[in-house]
Structure 1
Amino acid sequence: MPSRAGFRILCSAVAGLFLAACAAPQNMAQQQVSAESAVIFVNAQIITVDDAFPQAEAVAVRDGRILAVGTREEVNRAAGTGASLRDLGGAALAPGFIDTHGHFAMLAQTAGMANVQPPPAGPVRSIPELQAQLEAWALAHPDSPWILGWGYDDSLLAEQRHPAREDLDAVSTEKPVFLMHTSAHLAACNSLCLDAVGISPETPDPEGGIIRRQSDGRTPNGVLEETALYLAYAHLPQPVESQRLAGLSAVQELYASYGITTAQEGAAQGQNIADLQKVAARGDLYLDVVAYQLFQKDGVIPEDFAVSKTYDSRFRISGIKLLLDGSLQGRTGWLTQPYATPGPGQPAEYSGYRIHSDESVANLFEQAYARDIQIIAHANGDRAIDQYLDMMTPVMAAHPGQDQRPVVIHAQAARQDQLEEMAAAGILPSFFAAHPFYWGDWHRDAILGPERAAFISPLAAAKALGIPYTVHNDPPVVPPDVIRLLWVSVNRETRSGQVLGEDQRASPMDALRAVTLNAARQYFEEAEKGSITPGKKADFVILSDNPLTMDPADLQSIRVLETIKEGVTIYTAARQEN
Structure 2
Amino acid sequence: MRKIYFNGEIITVNDKEPIVDAVLVENGKIIKTGSKEEILKLKNEDTELVDLDGKTILPGFIDSHSHIIAVAQTLMIVNLSDANSKEEFIAILKDYVKNNPPKNGEWIIGFGYDNTRYENEEHPTKFDLDLVTKDIPIFISHASGHIATTNSKALEAFGYVGTNYEVPEGGVVRTVGESNEPNGILEENACLSPEKRKVIPTPSVDTLLSCIKKAQQIYSSYGLTTAQDASIDENLNQLLNLAAQKNELIIDIVGQAVQHTTLKLLKNEGTPKRKYYNHYKLLGGKTWLDGSPQGKTAWLTKPYYEVPEGESKDYCGYATQEDKDVIEYFKSLIENNIQVNVHCNGDAASDQFIRCYKKALEMTDNKTDLRPVMVHAQTVREDQLDDMKELGIIPTFFLDHIWFWGDYHYESVFGPERANRLSPAKSALRRNINFTLHQDSPVKMPNQILAMHNAVNRQTQSGRILGADQRLSTMEAIKALTINAAYQYFEEDEKGSIEEGKVADFVILDRNPLDVNLSEIKEIKVLETIKEGNTIYKK
TM-score (norm 2): 0.96
Query: Of residues 174, 198, 222 in structure 1, which corresponds to 2:135?
Result: 174
Q: Deviations over 1:40-95 (max 9, x none)?
A: 11111111111121121211111101111011222223445543311111011100
Q: Distance in 1 between matches of 2:43 and 2:290?
A: 52
User: Does structure 1 residue 291 correspond to structure 2 residue 255?
Assistant: yes
- Residues 320 and 373, structure 1, Cα contact 8 Å, conserved in 2: yes
Q: Deviations over 1:83-132 (max 9, x none)?
A: 33111110111000000000011111122111001xxxxx2111111111
Alpha-carbon deviation of 1:401? 3.0
Aligned residue in 1 for 2:500: 534
Instruction: Give distance in 2, aligned partners of 1:232 and 1:178.
Output: 12
Q: Write the mapping of 1:170-569 to structure 2, written as runs, cut at 5 A.
A: 170-200=131-161, 201-229=163-191, 230=193, 232-296=196-260, 301-302=263-264, 305=267, 309-397=274-362, 398-569=364-535
Compared with structure 1, are the counterparts of its residues 257 and 300 closer, same or farther at alpha carbon in structure 2 (3 Å cutoff)?
closer
Unaligned runs of 5+ in 1: 1-33, 118-122, 574-578
Query: What is the count of residue pairs matched by the alignment?
Result: 530
Once residues 54 and 389 of structure 1 are traced to their aligned partners in structure 2, the CA distance between those partners, rounded to angstroms, is 35
Name the amino acid aligned to 2:13: V
Q: CA RMSD in A?
A: 1.5
Q: Distance in 2 between matches of 1:391 and 1:456?
A: 23
1:140 aligns with 2:99: yes
Amino acid at match of 1:302: K
Partner of 2:86: 127
Q: CA deviation at 1:234?
A: 2.5
Aligned residues of 2:328 and 2:360 also touching (Cα < 8 A): no
2:121 match: secondary structure = coil
Deviations 1:450-493 (A, max 9, x none): 10011011111111111111010000011111111111111111
The alpha carbon displacement at 1:235 in A equals 2.3
Q: Would you say the 8 A contact 1:106–1:476 is kept in 2?
A: yes
Contact in 2 for aligned 1:65/1:536 (Cα 8 Å): yes
User: Hey, what's the Cα distance between the residues in 2 that align with 1:106 and 1:456?
Assistant: 26
Secondary structure of 1:101's partner? Answer: coil
In structure 1, distance between residues paired with 2:138 and 2:266: 38
Q: 1:369, 1:399 within 8 Å by CA — same for their partners in 2?
A: no
Counterpart position of 1:96: 60
Give CA-to-partner distance per residue, 1:153-199, whole Å, 9 cap, x none. 11122441110111111111222221111111110011222123220
TM-score by length of 1: 0.89
How far the C-alpha of 1:305 sits from its partner, in A, is 4.0
Structure 1 runs of 4+ aligned residues shifted over 6 Å read none
1:291-345 CA distances to partner (integer Å, 9 max, x unpaired)?
Answer: 001014xx77238646752111110000100111111111111111111111122
Q: 2:4 & 2:263 partners in 1: Cα distance? A: 47
- Give SS of 1:56's match: strand
Measured in 2, the distance between the counterparts of 1:282 and 1:569 equals: 20
**2 CA distance for matches of 1:300 and 1:456?**
30
Cα distance in 2 for residues equivalent to 1:166 and 1:232: 21
Residue 143 (structure 1) shift: 3.0
Per the alignment, do residues 280 and 300 of structure 1 end up closer, same or farther by CA in structure 2, a change over 3 Å counting? closer
For residues 126 and 334 of structure 1, the distance between their equivalents in structure 2, rounded to whole angstroms, comes to 28
Equivalents in 2 of 1:85, 1:306: separation in Å?
45
Structure 2 residue runs without a partner (length 5+): none
